[in-house]
Amino acid sequence: MTKSSFLLIVLLSAVASTFAQTDLTKVTILHLNDTYQFTPADGGKRGGLARVLTIKKRVLQENPYTLTTLGGDTLSPSVETRTYRGAQMIDAWNAVGLDYAVLGNHEFDIKTNELLDRMKGSKFTWLGANVIDTKTGKTFGGTPQFVIRSIGGVKVGFIGFLLPETKETSSIEGHISVTDYCETARKLVPEIRALGANVVIGLTHLFMHQDKKLSGCADFDLILGGHEHTLLQSSANGTPIFKMWADAREVGRFDLFIDKKTGNLQSMDWQVIPVTDEIPDDPEFAPVTAKYKELLDQLEVRVGATSVTLDAFSKSVRTKETDIGNFIADAYRKAVDAQVGFVNGGSIRADLSYNPGVLTKRDVLSMLPFNNPIVKVEVSGKTLMDILEHSVARSREDSEPGRFPQVSGIKFTFDANKLPGQRIAHVTVNGKAIESSASYTMATSDFLVSRSGDGYTMFKDAKILIAADAAPKDSEVFEKAIKESPNATIAPKVEGRIVRLN
């Protein structure tokens, strides 16, 4: 081969490469999920939507075809939502420039009219193809069944799905139905394809095992989810599935390379971007912080202290006995003078550990943000056994069931691999073996009693001794217990109240 021939081949290759690159559009998706506060978490070290805005602007400089998505759960629960009913998060996401959000189960913690107001105030689009208002027969709040976004010469379809357990884990009204996500996908995803979408992204608030099932129900290119509060990466039926850590501690970046000629997704790159205190706040976010400054300052008031590390991680309080779970259950029990204190792990929301040191008002309300009344009920020993059986019933297939208990005045052993009705063993109440025909008083959240929250339907038969309208609130009980500890300093520990055999 002559030198001139070689140079000609190199030149033609370069031209072909350049041409090929111009036929590709790179669409970047920035994804977050389960973000309950716009301020940083972990003592300011991680998270913060002002930092997320900085990240987004940097990515936009690199690629103008960038979209931002949210995998549900942001309006509740949080300290700020007790006062502002989720409006603070809408202000925050509007400032960030969120594009699409799927409804999460905790969006329905606030009243329906409040949620509809929050949705109307959103500059972004809410999705929830399987969330139906039975009064109208249409999607809740008039949300679109799906969206097809034209960007950079290609079309990207987004469709949202909410988990069916929302009926058990929130205060969703009876006329709002969460239909089968698989059937909905089978019906709508082919329609999205037929309308020209080159790529279809499922934006979900489901458990991972449900996301995997969804991937086999229709032709998805990518599923971006939420709900589990931790970084999860998986694949099923050829579809990549991702979730990020909660409270904006991470941003998932997904670069999709789409062939404009064929419409095919040729490849995808992805990375997890840590949101740390090394990332500066974007100054355009400052008005949001200023608007809520008075409340934010009030939350920094000292309540007491802890001399030990407190484990309030969701994966802990939903799977095993914890030190802070014991303290809260003890506080419930003492507050209404009951034999047993019972806390559903899903009601402890901080999802972090607290190092020895000061505990503030924010810390208290972050752990117990729902403002639930702590009622006193009387149940039989048989019913108490049914309650315990239900509390661990999903501990095998679901890694973090919100129904999992933290207890006081009771000890038990369980084996999640046993058949239903056989999982619980060696139950004692205040040191004595439980008796089926005996009666026991319990302190627990009214969410479980009056609304059968987390599926606790067995409380319907309980005798109410202290009703919700006369009951103390969970965070007030918690704060009082801290202040009444010696030197207002707590030191709870794990004591073997719950023993798991498998």
Give per-residue pLDDT as tens, 149-194.
999 999 999 999 999 999 888 889 999 999 999 999 999 999 999 9
Average pLDDT over the chain, rounded to an integer: 93
Band of pLDDT at residue 14, cut at 50, 70 and 90: very low
Whole-structure pTM value: 0.84
pLDDT value of residue 169 = 83
Mean pLDDT of 24-44: 95
Give the mean pLDDT of 348-366: 93
Tell whether 65 and 188 lie within a shared domain.
Answer: yes
| H helices present in 97-198, as ranges | 112-120, 166-169, 181-194
pLDDT tops 80 at residue 20: no
Q: 238 and 310: one domain?
A: no
Q: Measured between alpha carbons, how far is 228 from 332 in angstroms, rounded to an integer?
A: 27
Least confident of 57-66, 161-170, 204-213, 272-281: 161-170
- 340 close to 410: Cβ distance less than 8 angstroms: yes
- What is the pLDDT at residue 9? 34
- Taking only the tens place, the pLDDT of each residue in 215-234 is 999 999 999 999 999 999 99
Do the Cβ atoms of 313 and 305 come closer than 8 Å? no
Residue 23 CB contacts under 8 Å (≥ 6 apart), including other chains: 259, 260, 261
Residues 277 and 371 in one domain: no
- Are 446 and 401 part of one and the same domain? yes
In a domain, 376, yes or no: yes
Statement to judge: residues 215 and 320 lie in one domain: no
- The two tokens of residue 55 are 């990240």
User: What is the structure's pLDDT at 396?
Assistant: 66
CA–CA gap between residue 305 and residue 295 (Å, rounded): 21
The mean pLDDT value for 384-405 works out to 85
- Domain match, 133 and 101 both: yes
Measured CA angle at 178 (ends 76, 349), to 5 deg = 25
The helix/strand/coil state of 156 is strand
Q: What is the pLDDT of residues 450-501, one digit of tens each?
A: 999 999 999 998 999 999 999 999 999 999 999 999 999 999 999 999 999 9
Query: Which residue among 269, 291, 313 closes a domain?
Result: 291
24-39 average pLDDT score: 97
Per-residue HEC secondary structure of 59-95 comes to HHHHCCCEEEEECCCCCCCCCCHHHHCCHHHHHHHHH
Structure tokens at 5: 């021939």
Q: Is residue 1 a part of any domain in this protein?
A: no
Q: Quickly state the pLDDT bin for 377 (edges 50, 70, 90).
A: very high
469: number of Cβ within 10 Å: 8
Per-residue pLDDT, 352: 85
Q: Is the pLDDT of residue 389 over 80?
A: yes
11 belongs to a structural domain: no
Neighbour order of strands in the sheet with 302-306: 357-360, 302-306, 489-490
Looking only at the bridges linking them, the beta strands covering 498-500 and 410-414 are parallel
Q: Is residue 337 part of a domain?
A: yes
Rg, Å, the chain Cα set: 25
Q: What percent of the chain has pLDDT over 70?
A: 95
Q: Are residues 261 and 391 in the same domain?
A: no
On whether residue 158 sits in a domain, the answer given is yes
Q: Is residue 17 one of the residues assigned to a domain?
A: no
Contact indicator for 373, 460 with CB cutoff of 8 Å: no
Phi, psi dihedrals of residue 77, rounded to the nearest 5°: -95, 150
Average pLDDT score over residue span 273-299 = 96
How many residues are listed for the chain in this entry?
A: 502
HSE-up of residue 104 (Cα within 13 Å, Cβ side): 26
- Choose the final residue of a domain: 291, 324, 341: 291
% of the chain residues with pLDDT over 90: 88
Give the domain extent around 30. Answer: 24-291
Residue 344 lies in a domain: yes
My answer on whether 134 and 258 are in the same domain is yes
**275-301: buried (b, 16+ CB within 10 Å) or exposed (e) per residue?**
bbeebebbeebeebbeebeeebeebee
Q: Which two tokens stand for residue 216?
A: 């086999």
CATH code, 203: 3.60.21.10
Is residue 358 in a domain? yes
| Type of residue at 316 | S
Does residue 156 share a domain with residue 28? yes
Q: What is the mean pLDDT of residues 57-85?
A: 96
pLDDT value for 397:
58
Residue 442 gets the label, from left (phi > 0), alpha (psi -120 to 50) or beta, of beta
Considering the domain architecture, whether residues 190 and 85 belong to the same structural domain is answered as yes
Domain count, the chain: 2
**Above 70 in pLDDT, residue 97?**
yes
Buried b (16+ CB within 10 A) or exposed e, 27-37: bbbbbbbbbbb
Query: Which CATH number belongs to the domain containing residue 330 in this structure?
Result: 3.90.780.10
Q: What was the pLDDT predicted at 475?
A: 96
Confidence of residue 19 (pLDDT cuts 50, 70, 90): very low
pLDDT at 22 over 80: no
Question: In terms of Cα–Cα distance, which of 209, 103, 109 is closest to 159?
Answer: 103
The DSSP element (H or E) to which 481 belongs, if any, is helix 474-483
Domain end: 261, 291, 321, which one? Answer: 291
Say if residue 79 is in the same domain as residue 133: yes
Same domain, 257 and 326: no
